[in-house]
Amino acid sequence: MQRFGWIFLTAIAAGATIWCTHFVAMLGYEVDVPVHLDPVLTIVSLIVAIVGMSIGLAVGLWGAGALYPLIGGALAGGAISAMHYTGMAAFRVDGLVEWRIPYVVASVLCSIAFSAAAFAALCSARLSGRRRLWLGAGLFATAIVTLHFVAMTALRIAPLSLSDKPLTSEGMRALGLATALVGLIVIAAGIAAALIDRHTRSDAMQRLRHMAMNDALTGLPNRSSFQAELQRQVDVARTAGTKLAVVAIDLDRFKEINDVHGHKAGDDVLVMLADRMRDQLQGEEVVARLGGDEFVALTRFQERGDLAKFAARLDAALKAPVSFGTMSARVGAGIGVAVFPDHAESVEALVNNADLAMYRAKHEGSFEPRFYDASLDEIVRERRELANDLRRAIEEDQLALHYQVQTSITTREVTGYEALLRWHHPLRGNIPPEVFIPVAEESGLILPLGEWVLRQACRDATTWPNQSKVSVNVSPLQLAHADLPGLFRQVLGETGLPARRLEIELTETAFVTDRVRALHILQQIKALGVGVALDDFGTGFSSLETLRVFPFDKIKLDRFFISGLADSPQAIAIVRAVLALGKSLAIPVLAEGIETDEQLEVLRREGCDEAQGFLLGRPAPMPSTIVVGAVARGAVPRDRPLGGIAPQST
């Protein structure tokens, strides 16, 4: 609607300008006969100019394509011609009027050609803004001028009256007055356009400023806006001797809502929580969205009780149930607080320390705000630094896979290798998986990390001369993503590894949060031909229900039960029960943590299918030669493991 208004206002200015140009020229046109004007046709000529220019501008500016400016310009040129000859029809003389057709045609063609060229120049992307305007205006003026003078050349008037009346009539004076009034309309239209343009520019600048300083989804201040406000309030607090608190907020379970219910539900939750927190603000308190599910708030206070009330208001807004679609959930958040000047005096340090306190709250699973504590938050700082280093290691391919052999206890054949992730930090040295895997899960790096492991293991396995399987561990957080089967399909296609040679290992922790969803994703992966093994069976959340509802290809008995086989009847009884369960369900059982011949012999006697452990082979980089087929008992020296993978000294 605004664009239509601009076109109509431009058409009024352009049409009136064309009309004024014509009739000002006619005021100077002298003939030797009395002249008078038809007022109706004179007004019609003005309307023709305005309407014709409206149509030409609409076609030229709204049309999509290179031809539309030319078509719109041609229509505008036709409007100039129509206005001229309508105005000339209103020009009544006491004489014989003759029009020379070739000049009439030439005038119309000149008007159309120059007007089309003017529109094409104005819409050209090849010309700079100022050159485009000057060229377009010049061509359009040429269209008006050539039309008028060529058309007037086409006109011949032969006097018929012998009257001695004066040549200047009352009609001509009225025309002069009308022309002046229309000229004032042009000026008024220009002033109105300038005022509208100024107002529009002001509105546009305000919108751009709002977009630059506010979050597009929630309308809250964004990071840059918050940083500026924080710096201002720090300066005020320093001058006034008051205290200032930065409150870092990170939502709980938001990722789960996003993954399970979709991004639309996640956006609805963010908007709802942002509105609630905004409603809790008082005075100069501020809440901003930094990105994702991270928010930050700001308040000045005198007494610690005032700060506690502020944090309680935010906490209550975040803990209240949120509804999205037909669902409802409680989100909650980890909240960390840093106080100026107690915990930091610079803006950057305040925000960073509030973040550290917030991460400590989330790590502890606390539902209460945590204040920055240098001694306690140093651990959090180290974990964040480790997460940053891990992100860099993934991007720069600084990780490595080691493989531990898995063998058949009865045939001594190599049945596969488990891929185990190793990270050699350039400064910290070797970092154990039990240290960096939890950091990856906390920071969200487990997804790119898991993808790297999967792709590298499949790529390595394609170079092995035998058909041994490769086993890859899958985190419960990976299993929460619906696109995991698609990732497996993509990696298998890229590397060319047959799906039957790939096996994933996961613990029953993967089924705790959403059993139905996890089983659905596993079924899709298994449908690709990938094997699925239940890892660490017998510990944690072990449940026979899991074995009942999903057809696992292998059960991995945890090393905890293997360590007591030599001297614990209870351990032997548990192992025997698990082996019997596997046989009754037709699921092979692999025992982990085999370190002695006695343990291996007990497992062989009890009928265990496969084994894995230091006795058979320590994790090591991919070997240059992999032993194929059965390995005779005693054929491999004791210091060399089955499968041809040399043990490590560490």
SS3 assignment, position 8: helix
Please, which residues bridge with residue 504 across strands? Answer: 472, 532
> In the sheet where 286-291 sits, what is the strand order?
286-291, 294-301, 243-251, 333-340, 370-371
Report the chain's mean pLDDT, rounded to a whole number.
83
Per-residue pLDDT tens over the stretch 532-582: 999 988 776 556 777 888 889 999 998 888 887 877 888 889 899 999 999
Distinct helix (H) and strand (E) counts, the chain = 21, 20
Domains of the chain by residue range = 2-206, 223-372, 386-611
The percent of residues above 70 in pLDDT, for the chain, comes to: 85
Distance (Å, whole) CA 80 – CA 151: 11
Q: Name the class of domain 223-372.
A: alpha beta
Per-residue exposure over 346-384, b if at least 16 CB sit within 10 Å of its own CB, e if not: ebeebbbbbbbbbbbbbeeeeeebbbbeeeebeebbebb
- Whether the predicted pLDDT of 466 surpasses 50: yes
Question: How buried is residue 506: exposed, middle or buried, by Cβ count under 10 Å (0-12/13-18/19+)?
Answer: buried
pLDDT of residue 594: 93
Instruction: State the burial class of residue 591 (Cβ atoms within 10 Å of its Cβ: 0-12, 13-18, 19+).
Output: buried
Quote the CA–CA distance of 637 and 650 in Å, as a whole number: 20
Residue 624's pLDDT is: 41
CB atoms within 10 A of CB 319: 14
pTM (predicted TM-score): 0.55
What is the C-alpha separation between 429 and 455, in angstroms, rounded? 24
State the average pLDDT over residues 310-324: 86
According to the model, what pLDDT value does residue 417 have? 94
Residue 223 has pLDDT above 80, yes or no: yes
Question: What confidence score (pLDDT) does residue 593 get?
Answer: 92
Structure-derived torsion over alpha carbons of residues 219, 223, 224, 227, reported in degrees to the nearest 10: 120
Q: Are 586 and 554 in contact (CB under 8 A)?
A: no
CA distance 162 to 167: 12
Q: Higher confidence at residue 389 or residue 628?
A: 389
Residue 367 has pLDDT above 90, yes or no: no
Q: What is the mean pLDDT of residues 580-599?
A: 93
Could you tell me which CATH class the domain 386-611 is placed in?
alpha beta
Instruction: Report strand pairing: 554-557 vs 531-537.
Output: parallel
Q: For position 638, what pLDDT does the model report?
A: 36
Pick from 335, 338, 283, 280: nearest CA to 310: 280
**Inter-helix orientation angle 446-461/433-443, to 10°:** 130
Q: Tell me the residue length of the chain.
A: 650
Structure-block tokens of residue 301: 């206070």
| Single-letter residue type at 8 | F
Give the burial class of 2: count Cβ atoms within 10 A of its Cβ; 0-12 exposed, 13-18 middle, 19 or more buried.
exposed
pLDDT band for 531, please (50, 70, 90 cuts). Answer: very high
Measured distance CA(338)–CA(348) in Å, rounded:
11
Do 377 and 427 meet the contact criterion of CB atoms below 8 Å apart?
A: no
Question: Which residue would you say has higher pLDDT here, 432 or 33?
Answer: 432
**641/627 Cα distance (integer angstroms):** 10
Task: Give the separation between CA 128 and CA 477, rounded to whole angstroms.
Answer: 54
pLDDT band at 248 (very low <50, low <70, confident <90, very high): very high
Q: Is the pLDDT of residue 640 over 70?
A: no
**What is the pLDDT averaged over residues 427-449?**
90
